[in-house]
Amino acid sequence: MAVLVNKKSKVIVQGFTGSEGSFHAQQMIEYGTNVVGGVTPGKGGQTHLDKPVFNTVKEAVDKAGADVSIIFVPPAFAADAIMEAADAGIKVIVCITEGIPVKDMIPVKEYVKSKGCVLIGPNCPGVITPGEAKVGIMPGFVFKSGKIGIVSKSGTLTYEAADQIVKAGLGISTAIGIGGDPIIGTPTKDAVEMLMNDSETDAIVMIGEIGGSYEADAARWIKANGNKKPVVGFIAGQTAPPGRRMGHAGAIIGGKDDTAEAKMRIMSECGLHVVASPAEIGSKMAEVIGVKAGK
């Protein structure tokens, strides 16, 4: 069982014929992802990368059976693209777009929820189930199949964690890059819950950063639900000054519980295995689950 995407997922690319959409669609196809086509309004009926182009997401659902969409659409149009996918019946929507205005995302989040679908992102690297499907922009070669789930706000730290896990002699079940914007479709707790309920995931890496309460909420949920699986946690931004945004739009310390130190303390109190550096993720996970690192 895979979380969110697998080899049977029928993926479409919104913004298919643009430069970003084309590049990453090609990478996804080469990885083995079941890309069934793409959407570019006004170009329906054409073929791109040997896949059909549709004018609307609804058309892609009706004609190609699409159930997963990845969005490479400029910020001004991305909110509408997300809602179009949700309205058409897409079950998993991955939005890569960075810079969508917060005021646009407020109604989008509620709309997606009302339609019963899952939104990953925006401003995220996507989702990968190694060996089955890559729906995102991550370097597929880093990820090897296994039983460790990853939930991360950061794209680069998702790749680093995967590399650390593989070097420790382990592998990844599904990695979910949730995105670093203030308003995202799937907060840390929800992504962790998916992996906690996945029979093919034995342990979880949870990577967060300063700002917001996502990591604290997830840690408290993990404790309240009996710490069913071991979780190794890391928080980026340990030297960030209060009030200054660091990288992601959501990475800004606004209160005493927003700091890396406070989040790490809460995670430890809730029974998570917290590391001070991403370089320790793999070895700590191997230690926690009783595997000799590198073997």
- Residues with active-site annotation: 248
**Per residue in 140-156, is it b (16+ CB within 10 Å) or e — as a string?**
bebbbebbbbbbbbbbe
Question: Bridge-partner residues for 118, per DSSP?
Answer: 92
Q: Tokens for 142, please give them.
A: 């880093």
CA angle, 203 then 231 then 120, to 5°: 80
DSSP helix/strand/coil, 247 = coil
How many Å is the maximal CA-CA distance in the chain? Answer: 56
Peptide bond into 122 cis (omega under 30): yes
Sequence-distant (6+) residues with CB within 8 A of 182 are 102, 105, 211, 212, 249, 250
Q: Measured between alpha carbons, how far is 224 from 75 in angstroms, rounded to an integer?
A: 38
Residue 17's region, left for phi above 0, alpha for psi from -120 to 50, else beta, is alpha
Measure the CA dihedral 85/33/185/208, to 10°.
-170
Query: Of 20, 17, 283, 289, whose CA–CA distance to 137 is shortest?
Result: 20
Query: Of 108, 120, 101, 99, whose CA–CA distance to 80 is shortest?
Result: 108
